[in-house]
């Protein structure tokens, strides 16, 4: 395998030639989100019959991956993801993908200390600029750390990649071994789910707790989007943003002038994020826009960093909470759904921030095979993974109200959470809580 030196700088080769470097048993890294390669991916899939046990590490695939589509039984390629998209979840169900448990903000350190090897790293980047840098676009995350550890670095150059400002949001040609031509297609778009009546009800409860100058971290989904919509219609202003994921809802607030960032401690006057996923309008907004900084994920997510901003407001979803306040946000029993992501880190950052608040949101019920079930339960579903421990939980919000679990005993927590459950399930939950001594007789 060719390795660059001062005498042998990066070479331009074809995707087929690049894929020809892969050997059985190698670890290939595709990077994260919109930096994942497409032309190389298709070329590698064409070589499947020559290979076995090639493991591909990646995160949040935004498009179907050719290596998996052409190898449905996993005889040649196996996918390891640091956070599942819906596509990766289906491949996990098919038995050809696995999850690597992480707090997202720790991943740069994982690569520098624990994850090995990275035989080949292949990233989709923008064209080289006059200073010799290939921009990562709206997906900084941990790419710099992988470059440091990779034995071979390849960039797939695409005109479709926006140019995004930020710290270490690029790789210099001197660090690159090979350059291949990309397909120049626009970035994959992430649909924005329409807000439901439940989403809007949850958002109204949260709105009462957001004040001027709050610094927002907002996750993905209908509920966080509904909060953005209501903020747009409110009198709240001078907002800041220090978040992991940049969403269309945040960009809408920016265009309305609601976000100034002037009261932030970190990157004052700027919107700090680590990756963006959404509509074409979102990508057009961040392209060459100095108001947005695409930062490494250990800058955006590590609690000791994010907490430096005052009035951090962290808004995230969960899928199930037990009566002690444990939130399971990434699995359905033993079936993995998404990932820990930055939820726990932002919960802790908001708590540590001066005047900060963390909100974990959920609809009170869900439908399973035509039967309505309560998301608030005596115990988590068997096999469910705890994303946010009971000791870290602050505000919990459903369409029926909001409670702050900080400072509450087990009995007080159980009673408060039952009051947030759908009325049809409260009596049963009270019986179960009493039977298991979570709410002792005579306590209330």
Which has the closest alpha carbon to 418: 322, 317, 315, 316?
322
Using CA atoms, how far apart are residues 258 and 251, in angstroms rounded to an integer?
10
Q: Is the pLDDT of residue 416 over 70?
A: yes
| Measured CA angle at 81 (ends 361, 126), to 5 deg | 100
Residue 223: predicted pLDDT = 87
* 133, two tokens: 């840098």
The Cα 79–Cα 95 span in angstroms is: 10
Q: Is residue 415 helix, strand or coil? A: helix
Strands 327-328 and 365-368 come out as unpaired
Confidence at 443, pLDDT banded by 50, 70, 90: confident
CA 16 to CA 46: how far, in whole Å? 9
Q: Is the pTM of this model over 0.85?
A: yes
Nearest-5° angle of CA 211, CA 394, CA 436?
A: 150
Q: How far is CA 263 from CA 26, 62, 139, 268, 366, in A?
A: 48, 34, 25, 7, 39
192-228 tens-digit pLDDT? 888 899 999 999 999 999 999 999 999 888 888 899 9
Query: What mean pLDDT is predicted for residues 357-380?
Result: 96
pLDDT at 264 over 80: yes
User: pLDDT value at position 43?
Assistant: 98
The domain ranges of the chain are: 11-181, 197-435
Query: Catalytic: which of 88, 156, 175, 244?
Result: 244
Quote the pLDDT of residue 439: 94
pLDDT band at residue 4 using 50, 70 and 90 as cut-offs? low
| % residues pLDDT > 90 (the chain) | 93
Q: Going by C-beta distance under 8 Å and a sequence separation of 6 or more, which residues neighbour residue 391?
A: none
Kindly state the tokens that stand for 199. Answer: 């989403």
Residue 116 designated active-site? no
Pairwise CA distance, residues 258 & 212, whole Å: 10
- Would you say 130 and 92 are in contact if contact means Cβ atoms under 8 Å apart? no
Section 118-138 average pLDDT:
98
Quick one: average pLDDT of 40-47?
Answer: 98
- What is the model's pLDDT at position 188? 96
4: nearest Cα among 157, 150, 168: 150
How many C-beta neighbours within 10 Å does residue 424 have? Answer: 11
Task: Say which CATH topology domain 11-181 has.
Answer: Glutaconate Coenzyme A-transferase (3.40.1080)
- DSSP strands (E only) in 223-370: 240-242, 245-246, 271-273, 275-276, 292-294, 312-317, 320-322, 327-328, 331-332, 335-336, 357-361, 365-368
Cβ-contact 24, 48 below 8 angstroms: no
Fold of the 197-435 domain:
Glutaconate Coenzyme A-transferase (3.40.1080)
Pairing label, strands 54-59, 77-81: parallel
Average pLDDT over the chain, rounded to an integer = 96
Cα 181 from chain centroid? Answer: 28
Residue 307's pLDDT band, with cuts at 50, 70 and 90, is very high
SS3 state at 50: helix
Distance, in Å, from the CA atom of 57 to the CA atom of 318, rounded to the nearest integer, reads 26
pLDDT over 90 (residue 9)? no
8 A C-beta contact, residue 234 and residue 207 = yes
Q: Write out pLDDT tens, residues 363-373.
A: 999 999 899 99
Q: Are 146 and 118 in contact (CB under 8 A)?
A: yes
Q: Which residue has the tokens 């608030």?
A: 376
Residue whose C-alpha is closest to residue 173's, from 208, 137, 205, 128: 128
* Closest of 163, 131, 129, 120 to residue 13, by C-alpha: 120
pLDDT at 222: 83
Mean pLDDT over 345-368 rounds to 97
- At residue 3, the pLDDT reads 54
Cα gap 51→73, rounded to integer Å: 14
């Amino acid at each position: 395998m060719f390795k660059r030196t001062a005498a042998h700088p990066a070479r331009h080769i074809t995707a087929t030639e690049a894929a020809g470097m892969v050997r059985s048993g190698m670890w290939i890294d595709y990077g994260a989100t919109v930096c994942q390669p497409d032309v190389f991916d298709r070329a590698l899939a064409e070589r499947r019959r020559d290979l076995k046990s090639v493991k591909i590490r990646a995160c949040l695939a935004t498009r179907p991956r050719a290596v998996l589509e052409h190898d449905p039984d996993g005889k040649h390629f196996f996918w390891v993801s640091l956070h599942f998209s819906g596509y990766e979840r289906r491949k996990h169900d098919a038995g050809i993908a696995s999850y690597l448990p992480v707090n997202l903000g720790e991943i740069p350190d994982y690569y520098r200390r624990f994850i090995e090897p990275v035989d080949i790293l292949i990233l989709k980047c923008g064209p080289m600029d006059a200073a010799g840098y290939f921009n990562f676009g709206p997906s900084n995350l941990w790419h710099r750390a992988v470059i440091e550890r990779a034995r071979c670095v390849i960039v797939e150059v695409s005109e479709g990649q926006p140019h995004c400002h930020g710290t270490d949001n690029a790789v210099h040609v001197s660090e690159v071994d090979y350059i291949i031509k990309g397909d120049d297609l626009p970035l994959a778009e992430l649909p924005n789910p329409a807000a439901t009546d439940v989403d809007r009800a949850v958002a109204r409860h949260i709105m009462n707790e957001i004040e001027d100058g709050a610094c927002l971290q907002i996750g993905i989904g209908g509920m966080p989007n509904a909060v953005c919509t209501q903020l747009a219609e409110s009198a709240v202003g001078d907002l800041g943003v220090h978040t992991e994921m940049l969403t269309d809802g945040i960009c809408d607030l920016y265009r309305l002038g609601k976000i100034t960032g002037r009261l932030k401690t970190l990157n004052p006057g700027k919107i700090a994020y680590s990756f963006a996923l959404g509509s074409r309008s979102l990508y057009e907004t961040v392209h060459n826009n100095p108001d947005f900084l695409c930062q490494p994920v250990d800058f955006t997510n590590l609690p000791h960093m994010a907490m430096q901003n005052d009035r951090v407001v962290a808004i995230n979803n969960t899928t199930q909470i037990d009566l002690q306040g444990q939130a399971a946000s990434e699995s359905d029993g033993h079936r993995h759904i998404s990932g820990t992501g930055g939820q726990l880190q932002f919960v802790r950052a908001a708590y540590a921030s001066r005047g900060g608040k963390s909100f974990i949101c959920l609809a009170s019920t869900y439908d399973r095979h035509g039967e309505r079930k309560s998301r608030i339960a005596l115990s988590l579903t068997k096999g469910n993974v705890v994303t946010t421990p009971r000791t870290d939980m602050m505000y919990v919000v459903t369409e029926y109200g909001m409670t702050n679990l900080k400072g509450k005993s087990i009995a007080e927590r159980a009673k408060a959470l039952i009051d947030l459950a759908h009325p049809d399930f409260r009596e049963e939950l009270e019986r179960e809580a009493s039977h298991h001594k979570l709410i002792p007789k005579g306590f209330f």
